[in-house]
Amino acid sequence: MSRKPIIAANWKMNIGPSEASGFIKSFLPLVEDIKGACDIVIVPPFVSIPAASEALNSTASVGLGAQNVSQYNNGAYTGEISTLMLKELFVGYVVLGHSERRQLFGETDEVINAKLKKALADNLKPLFCIGETLEERDGGQLEAVLERQVDKGMDGLTEEEATTTVIAYEPVWAIGTGRTATSEQAQEAHAFVRSVLAKKFGQAVADKIRIQYGGSVKPENTAELMAQPDIDGALVGGASLDPASFAKIVNAAVTR
Ligand code: PGA
């Protein structure tokens, strides 16, 4: 089963508008040889999206994402951003359910599900994050947590919507800690997630869904992670903040 790799740069609350276009201008020449072998997505903070969008100038090979979106159309929702606003800026992807949104901002599986449905209805591709905490893993809860997050987060999606969704498996204990899951641990979790998807949407759909790994991905560990049969890409935080480092990750992902 061949699934096109997808590598995304989650800048989190880094790289403001004045730095975003410089980043992209340095980055683009470094991935020129990729030529569509891999989907690349840059996910800046909201306010840096206009500068990033302009610098990308509809570069076909590099997509633009947002880090969150409202589940509502418009109206009295102070501080929120709608799908249509993002689409005006040529945003094609949206990160949803990131563990930082779940843990620090109280997003529940139900809210994430509503956002996923809204994004899909308005043609934004979700990068839907799931992952267990260290306590959950140590307490033998790994599979139960992943199954719940997939089951509730993707509840009510059609087969087509499920296929469009990219899942990012990010063990919370590996995010920003320098502690990457071993490629065996990651593969095991990815294979389990795919089995949950198969139960929910059927094997054919599950085989098409791309599952990224996230959590301290670096140029040095990308190739080994990507060599695993169920790892189809990476969601990169810290190592995506430097154009050369992120370009190395993209290049390592396509030479698997
Ligand atoms: P990290 O973050 O690469 O800095 O661990 C990954 C993420 O949270 O998406």
- Reported as a single tens digit per residue, the pLDDT across 51-83 is 999 999 877 789 999 999 999 999 999 999 999
Task: Specify the residue with its C-alpha closest to ligand 1, atom 7.
Answer: 237
φ and ψ at residue 127, rounded to 5 degrees? -105, 95
Residue 213: is its pLDDT beyond 60? yes
Mean of the per-residue pLDDT values of the chain: 96
Q: Which helix (H) or strand (E) holds 126?
A: strand 125-130
Residue 3's contacts (CB-CB under 8 Å, 6 or more residues apart) are 208, 209, 210, 232
pTM across the whole model? 0.97
The pLDDT tens digits for 12-39 are: 999 999 999 999 999 999 999 888 899 9
Instruction: Give the distance (Å) from ligand 1 centre to CA of residue 42.
Output: 13
d(CA 90, CA 83): 11
3-class DSSP state of 65: strand
76 C-alpha vs ligand 1 centroid, how far in Å?
32
